Chains A and B, each alone.
Chain A
Amino acid sequence: MSRIEIDGITKSFGRRPVLKGIDLAIAQGEFMALVGPSGCGKSTLLRIIAGLEREEAGSILLAGKAVDHLPARDRDLAMVFQSYALYPHLTVAENIAVPLTMRRLTTAERLPVFGRLSSRSRAVRREIDVEVAQACAMLGIGDLVDRKPGQLSGGQRQRVALGRAMVRAPKAFLMDEPLSNLDAKLRVEMRSEIARLHRRLETTFVYVTHDQAEAMTMADRIAVMMDGQLIQVGSPEEIYADPSDLRVAEFIGSPKINVAGADAARALAARLDDPAMALVPGLRLAFRAEAATLVDPSEGGLVGVVVHLENLGADLHVHLAIEGQAEPIIVRRDPHAPRLRLDERCGIVVPPERLLAFDGAGSRLRAAQIRRAA
């Protein structure tokens, strides 16, 4: 258990910069999700924390101590890989025991037959067996201990990989897209299981994912990365409701946030209290699907035509085409509300406090800034 401080980390592969100066402090016991589209550098950052990759500049501190000179095996961190990376020739129990045998037994004691001769080695091995059994019981894989990874399903392999990571109580867990190879249903199950595991172990978790839903559902805080930079760090609620950048707003949340281009923005902004807003050059206004309501076109607002209805059971997503805009606007609606027909014209109304304004470069504009700009 310990704090992780990431201090001005830069890294490039060849001439291409992958990390452009990352600063991030992860508190002790915190579940931090690093999220971003593929190629944003999040996995590289995780590998640098792990010691599997060397940073070009900057420093990694574990519990206040710089560990930049330490190889991966001396950093006392555990990692779970997307491919699980289990040893194919060892059984489940042997796989989970590896981190313990490597640390507690000497080279001589690890030898196949001679290693079992000393009484100390036998005592340590008994201890390890007990701890492995505990880990297996905790993950519900107690009946699989004698199987080889090849005989396990994806979900079972994932549990074994988790067991191997947690068995030696490391300072922190690093997870690199651990659920990406599972099917959708299992992924949702494992999400809550990993979150439970985190609460139970009270250890620092750093969790890399490209799936914003995983980050939103599991993390205490989310760090959104784009193009080798940290764009925003905050709680899931903060990131969702108060994004500091249009790219963050677009990446987080499903369905994707609606972005109104110039003309549509003017139509929406006309209803805003702040008339100055309409004057900002390149202004874009974004709003969540659940923030908008559909009204009769005569009541004003933004007018769109229904092009697609997506019924998800609990929610109905209405896709509306807006003139002069390529992407449709998506509005969430109660499926029990009066039925809409395709090609029907609707007015879209968003309360001003739920409109998020961004300037031409995609930076968030808050009311005070807007007044200054105008």
Chain B
Amino acid sequence: MTARHSKRRRSVLGPVLRHATLLVLAALTLLPFLWMVSTSLKGPDEILVADIHWWPRNFSAAENYGAAFRMAPLGRYLLNGALVTATILVLQLVVALPAAFALAKSEFRGRKALFAIVLFGLLVPYHVIAVPLFVSLHAVGLLDTYAALVTPFSISVFGIFLMRQFFLSVPSDLVDAARMDGMSEFAIVWRVMAPAALPAISSFAVFSVVAHWNDYFWPLIAVSSDALFTPPLGVVAFRNDDAGTHYGPLMAAATIIVLPLVAAFLLAQRRFIEGIAFTGIK
């Protein structure tokens, strides 16, 4: 009787502990984010004060969000961000799908060596090659253009790797059937492999869009004209050395910038988790 009792108590205790731990971690992760949203709703007199209160006494949302759009061309930055991330994603897929297909399903001399190079590429963070990239873009006169923001990322070794792993699981008979049906190798990539790989493509899309939408480092180096700024660069416009930083509008701008990502993630959440579970990549 007692044994059964304690056993049941333990079986309740386990999940409670697990959930408590997860709740604390989730709260820690969410805290700065909520503080950002909260600050974006407060007036300047409420922001830098000693006591912590989450709910603003006087709502200054209209002022802050209005100022965010007035003080900097935030709309332009958002459009730049969308254009750059979309172009990067399209180029990455155009390169990664055929490359992954060749590495997974074609027989050719040096395939193993080539794949080893791809794996090696995964180990190199792009910050390491930032200076050579900068110098070469300068040499071809592309600095401070959209091309400077896009081209360095058009080949994603991670994308090639992810797609190759997925393509390995596609039966070779399907590829052979497509060959018999009269498809060229490129037609097979786009008409057979790409539709089969949609879960993997969408999870890769999330990784890619998040990484490049949030990227601060490379745009900071590559462009200097205000008109080409991506959202993270735009946020810096609110840090004003002369008049002090305008925290309200800054936080409002930051909120606006993360909003598209949060919305996209919520919409694609199921697909995204499926894709990760499917490819076994965490």
Contact = CB atoms under 8 A, between A and B. Distances in A.
A88 interface: yes
A79 B180 contact: yes
Interface stretch (B111-119, B131-139, B170-178, B267-275): B170-178
B181 A81 contact: no
- Chain A interface: which size bin? 20 to 34
- Most A CB contacts (10 A, CB to CB) among B173, B182, B195 go to B182
A152 interface: no
Nearest to B194: A89
B176 A82 contact: no
A103 B176 contact: no
A81 B180 CA distance: 11
A72 interface: yes
Nearest to B175: A85
Contacts, number: 56
B176 A52 contact: yes
B179 A82 contact: no
A210 B179 CA distance: 25
Contacts of A98: 178, 181, 183
B171 to A, nearest CB: 6
B192 interface: yes
B181 A73 contact: yes
A82 B196 contact: no
Contacts of A130: none
B181 A50 contact: no
Nearest to A51: B179
A73 B173 contact: no
Contacts of B176: 47, 50, 52, 72, 79, 81, 85
A72 B180 CA distance: 6
B169 interface: no
Nearest to A165: B180
Nearest to B185: A71
A269 to B, nearest CB: 50
B179 A72 contact: yes
Contacts of B171: 83, 85
Interface in B157-213: 171, 173-174, 176-184, 187, 192, 195-196
B180 A78 contact: yes
B174 A102 contact: no
A81 B183 CA distance: 17
Nearest to B184: A73
A285 interface: no
- Most A CB contacts (10 A, CB to CB) among B176, B178, B184, B195 go to B176
A32 interface: no
B196 to A, nearest CB: 6
A99 to B, nearest CB: 4
B180 A77 contact: yes
Given A72-B179, A73-B183, A99-B181, A88 B173 contact: no
A81 B171 CA distance: 11
Contacts of B182: 73, 99, 102-103
A240 interface: no
20 contacts: A52-B180, A72-B180, A73-B179, A73-B180, A79-B177, A81-B173, A81-B176, A81-B177, A82-B173, A83-B173, A85-B173, A85-B176, A86-B177, A87-B177, A87-B178, A88-B195, A99-B182, A102-B181, A102-B183, A103-B182
**What are the 9 tightest A-B residue pairs by CB atom distance, in nearest-first order?**
A102-B182, A85-B177, A89-B195, A85-B173, A72-B179, A99-B181, A73-B182, A81-B173, A79-B180
